Amino acid sequence: MDSYHRQPLRKDYRTGRDCQFCLEFDPDFAKRRPIDRCVEGDMENSATSHLSEDGHVRHRMFELAQKRAQTVAASTGWVKSA
């Protein structure tokens, strides 16, 4: 497996829980497969704690969208000069 793909976790995912970050920001969170919604039970709500690669990628997309929205909101505060 190349370095661009996550290593598969050989853990039992029954101890997983829904990612609270994705639940808040993804309007289609309920439509995800259960494995894509889960994060490891003892970890924080981060992209790397997702059990599947698809869940990791979607989480990261919403993180980037949130950061972009913050940047746009901060940049609209500038006053344009002549």
Average pLDDT over residues 49-77: 87
Q: Decide if 18 is inside a domain.
A: yes
Q: Decide if 77 is inside a domain.
A: no
Phi, psi of 57 (to 5 degrees): -65, -45
For residue 77, name the pLDDT band (cuts at 50, 70, 90): low
Q: How many domains does the chain have?
A: 1
Q: Which residue has the tokens 């661009």?
A: 4
Of residues 31, 21, 33, 32, the one with CA closest to residue 60: 21
Average pLDDT over residues 37-56: 88
Query: What is residue 31's predicted lDDT score, i.e. its pLDDT?
Result: 94
Query: What is residue 9's predicted lDDT score, i.e. its pLDDT?
Result: 59
Q: Decide if 51 is inside a domain.
A: yes
Q: Containing domain of residue 47, as a range?
A: 13-68
Query: What is residue 65's predicted lDDT score, i.e. its pLDDT?
Result: 93
Is residue 56 predicted with pLDDT exceeding 90? Answer: yes
**Could you give the CA distance from residue 24 to residue 9 in angstroms, rounded to a whole number?**
25
**Exposure pattern of 3-39 as b/e (b: 16+ CB <10 Å)?**
eeeeeeeeeeeeebeebebbeebbeebeebeeebbbb
